[in-house]
């Protein structure tokens, strides 16, 4: 019997994702693709179960079937397993993708899934796994890092912050294998999703930090764009970035362009309309 990344933890956490999550409900490019891909994979899995076995992650066979380090994410142990993973992706994914961009979001998702398989391989080398939980947990960690105080309603009624939700599920994932709880749940895959997402986000932040240190002053192109700041329409900026854009515009109105830091100039330049295109959302 396969040891599935079961939906028990997801059932507890992802019933309601607070007003903050519902506020940005529109699907983004990668989230939409992943939702459709998982649904198609689940359909094919049930139509051809023997064929689907070739995509399950068996730690003992990883050297012979390396593709399963990622393909296991698209298989699920049942409809409810799939439903709660996709519900979590639907709630948390669009906000995170809007924050870091489509390419980085896709990398985050698959890096989280890869680390989920690796930790399961190390700590539970005899248990085959399926499920998107590692990737979803990585997205959840990213959400908590960007919006730590956003309220998540457990079972739809118990409010906790996103930060506490991650801490709580981490404790559950660490303690359960040693206490013999939650049999059939790939807890190490969940932890691996957190580890992979954390390392990738820190790598992004390090690269961004290096860029900022080099940008002592804005580039000439950025400076020219910022001079056109009056053309920015905050209503066309995605809600994730709108507050920061409004803050900088208020600062310009109060103190002038000279008051902006190099980082603020570079940030604002991303939302100035180009001569041949609309403002970037």
Lookup result for tokens 């109060």: 254
How far is it, in rounded angstroms, from Cα 101 to Cα 41? 25
Q: For residue 280, is pLDDT > 70?
A: no
* String of DSSP letters for 124-163: -TT--B--SHHHHHHHHHHHHHHSTT-EEEETTTEEEEHH
Q: For residue 196, is pLDDT > 90?
A: yes
Residue 47: its H or E element: helix 29-47
Q: For residue 11, is pLDDT > 70?
A: no
163 and 122 within one domain: yes
159 and 85 within one domain: yes
249 and 177 within one domain: no
The reported pLDDT for the residue numbered 183 is 65
Q: Measured at the alpha carbon of residue 19, what is the angle toward residues 17 and 20, in degrees to the nearest 5?
A: 85
Q: For residue 277, is pLDDT > 90?
A: no
230 and 98 within one domain: no
Percent of the chain with pLDDT over 90: 36
The reported pLDDT for the residue numbered 108 is 97
195 and 115 within one domain: yes
Assigned domain for 277 exists: no
The reported pLDDT for the residue numbered 38 is 96
The reported pLDDT for the residue numbered 181 is 63
51 and 135 within one domain: yes
Pseudo-torsion of CA 264, 266, 268, 270, nearest 10°? -160
The reported pLDDT for the residue numbered 96 is 93
Q: For residue 214, is pLDDT > 50?
A: no
User: Lowest mean pLDDT: which of 107-121, 144-158, 256-270?
Assistant: 256-270
Assigned domain for 157 exists: yes
Instruction: Tell which of 208, 229, 244 closes a domain.
Output: 208
151 and 68 within one domain: yes
State in Å, rounded, how far the first CA of the chain is from the last one: 47
110 and 87 within one domain: yes
Instruction: Tell which of 177, 208, 239 closes a domain.
Output: 208
The count of structural domains within the chain is 2
How far is it, in rounded angstroms, from Cα 107 to Cα 196? 10
How far is it, in rounded angstroms, from Cα 168 to Cα 164? 6
The reported pLDDT for the residue numbered 208 is 60
45 and 160 within one domain: yes
Assigned domain for 115 exists: yes
Residue 24 confidence class, pLDDT cut points 50, 70, 90: very low
Assigned domain for 114 exists: yes
247 and 199 within one domain: no
Assign residue 126 the CATH number of its domain: 1.20.1540.10
Residue 200 confidence class, pLDDT cut points 50, 70, 90: very high
263 and 140 within one domain: no
Query: What's the predicted TM-score (pTM) here?
Result: 0.69
Lookup result for tokens 């409809």: 79
Query: Which residues constitute the domain of residue 235?
Result: 220-269
């Amino acid at each position: 019997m396969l040891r599935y990344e079961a939906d028990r933890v997801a059932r507890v956490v992802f019933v309601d994702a607070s007003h903050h999550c519902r506020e940005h409900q529109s699907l983004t490019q990668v989230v939409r693709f992943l939702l459709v891909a998982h649904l198609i994979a689940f359909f094919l899995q049930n139509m051809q179960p023997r064929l689907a076995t070739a995509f399950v992650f068996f730690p003992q066979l990883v050297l012979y079937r390396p593709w399963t380090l990622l393909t296991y994410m698209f298989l699920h142990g049942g409809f409810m397993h799939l439903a709660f993973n996709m519900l979590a992706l639907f709630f948390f994914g669009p906000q995170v993708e809007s924050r870091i961009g489509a390419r980085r979001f896709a990398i985050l998702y698959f890096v989280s899934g890869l680390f989920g398989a690796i930790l399961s391989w190390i700590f539970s080398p005899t248990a085959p796994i399926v499920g998107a939980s590692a990737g979803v947990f990585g997205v959840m960690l990213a959400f908590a890092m960007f919006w730590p105080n956003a309220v998540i309603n457990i079972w739809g009624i118990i409010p906790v912050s996103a930060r506490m939700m991650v801490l709580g599920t981490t404790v559950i994932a660490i303690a359960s294998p040693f206490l013999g709880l939650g049999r059939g749940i790939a807890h190490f895959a969940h932890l691996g999703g957190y580890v992979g997402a954390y390392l990738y986000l820190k790598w992004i932040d390090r690269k961004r930090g290096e860029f900022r240190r080099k940008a002592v002053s804005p580039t000439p192109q950025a400076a020219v764009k910022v001079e056109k700041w009056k053309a920015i329409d905050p209503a066309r900026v995605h809600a994730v970035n709108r507050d920061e854009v409004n803050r900088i515009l208020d600062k310009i109105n109060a103190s002038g362009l000279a008051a902006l830091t190099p980082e603020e100039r570079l940030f604002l330049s991303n939302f100035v309309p180009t001569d041949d295109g609309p403002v970037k959302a």
